[in-house]
Structure formats: structure tokens, C-alpha cells
Structure 1
Amino acid sequence: MNLLKKISVSLIFLVSLPAFADSFCTGKVTKLGVGRHGVVYVSGPGGLPVVYLCNLQGKSNGIETESCKAMYSSLLAAKAQNKTVSITFNPSIGSCSELGSWRYAQNVNWVISE
């Protein structure tokens, strides 16, 4: 009986897994910058328009300052080396290109260098 419960819980988790999956915006960084007040912006991966991610000077958009610095560093290295990156969103978004230009991209989850 204990094994049956474990299998049932595992199956429920696997069936519901897509609901927890991130949306990936993957590709090359075409634009990357920092505003005078520390706002980081990026465009390119997966058709992202220019969107704000976070702020290097304080918590913003739900992202801590240290995390923002690490995200910016990853994006800067990827751009300099012409590498592909993925910026993920959770909960998932409909399309990378649908995000509002020159606005904070809500629900940023990961920046992944590939």
C-alpha cells in the first residue's frame, strides 16, 4: 500500500509538471545596457523586445541586488562572446515577443548561459 501511494503521488507530480515549467526566451543578446539609476535592460533572446530585468542598486521587479548583478554579468559575458542565453519566466508567458517594450518583464526566473 505504501508503494502504491508513492507511485500515485509521483504520477500526480508528473502530470502537473507542465504547469510549473518555465517559459524560455532563448537566443543571442542584441542589446544590453544599464541606466543611470541602475536599471538593467536587455533584448534579443527569443524575440524579446527591450525589457527591464532588474536594478543593480536595489531590489526591483522581485529580484535581489546580488542576483541582478549576477544576471547582468552572465548577459554581458554572453554578449561579449556571442553566446546563446536563455531568460526564463515563471509562471510561463505566452510569447517572448509579446512582452511590453521598455517595461519591466514580470516573473523573470533564470538567466542561463549556454
Structure 2
Amino acid sequence: MFRSAVVLVGLWVGLVPAANAETKFHCQGELTYLALDASGSVNIAIDGVSPVHGVCNLLADDGYKASPESCKAMYATFLAVKMSERAVQVFYEDPVLTDCSQIAPWSKQRGYYYVSSQ
């Protein structure tokens, strides 16, 4: 009886991290849309890769991984990339999504955490 309980607990503990695992992925391409709405939400789209979606908020935490302070710097990076017409790489961490094609239009991608230019 005790041995069975130990095995069951061991199996359960082994499954818990997998249930909470987040997949890291990135989207790369031309930044075709960059907007800032009245609530402070930064919205982007990458040509042929992802629809318009929110990545952070300049004014409030709003559940995003990026704080408002880091969002300001990231917005400046997006703006520089847009003006330079260079490719952008946007990195996400999500418990459900595994690639950019799964991003829903006008969704809030709270797992966005990194931006770079090419």
C-alpha cells in the first residue's frame, strides 16, 4: 500500500512541471503595423507571420510579462525598427501557443518578452 502511494505521488509530481511548461518561440519579418491606443497598449503585426496583437502596455501592468517601464524601451525599439524598415524578431513565452500562426487577431500576447532587429 505504501509503495503504491509513493509511486502515485511520484507520477503526479513528475507531471506537474509539464502542465505548467511554457513554450518559447519567436516571430520574424517586416513590422507592418505599430500602434499605440489610448489605454497605453502597444499593438504590432509582422507581415505574413502574425496578425495585429498587443504585446505590452506603456501605462499599466495589465498582466503582461513586460513592465510598463520596459514596454517604453521596447516601443522605442519597435519604432526604430519600423522607421529603418529592417526585419524584427519578437520573442514570446506561452503555455498554449507554439508558433506565430496561432496568435489570434487583436489578442493580448502577455508572454512577449524580447525584441531585436535584424
Structure-1-length-normalised TM-score: 0.74
Query: How much has 1:113 moved relative to structure 2?
Result: 1.6
Whole-Å Cα distance in 1 between the matches of residues 90 and 27 of structure 2?
A: 5
Is the aligned partner of 1:55 residue 2:68? no
Q: Please tell me the residue identity of whatever aligns with 1:78.
A: V
If each structure's strand is expressed as a fraction of its own residues, which one has the higher value?
2
- Alignment RMSD (CA, Å): 2.0
Q: Please tell me the residue identity of whatever aligns with 1:67.
A: S
The superposition leaves residues 18-62 of structure 1 with CA deviations (integer Å, 9 ceiling, x where unpaired) of: x88731101110000000111100001661110001111122313
| Superposition misfits of 4+ residues, deviation over 6 angstroms | none
Q: Which has the larger radius of gyration?
A: 2
Q: Please tell me the residue identity of whatever aligns with 1:35.
A: D
Is the aligned partner of 1:101 residue 2:95? no
Q: How many residues align?
A: 96
Whole-Å Cα distance in 1 between the matches of residues 86 and 55 of structure 2?
A: 19
Is the aligned partner of 1:72 residue 2:72? no
Distance of aligned partners of 1:51 and 1:87 in 2 relative to their CA distance in 1, 3 Å threshold: same
Query: How much has 1:63 moved relative to structure 2?
Result: 1.7
Percentage identity across aligned positions?
30
Runs (5+) with no aligned partner, structure 2: 1-20
Is the aligned partner of 1:90 residue 2:89? no
Structure-2-length-normalised TM-score: 0.72
The equivalences for 1:20-35 within 5 A come to 22-35=24-37
In 1, are the aligned partners of 2:90 and 2:114 still within 8 Å (CA)? yes
Query: How much has 1:65 moved relative to structure 2?
Result: 0.8
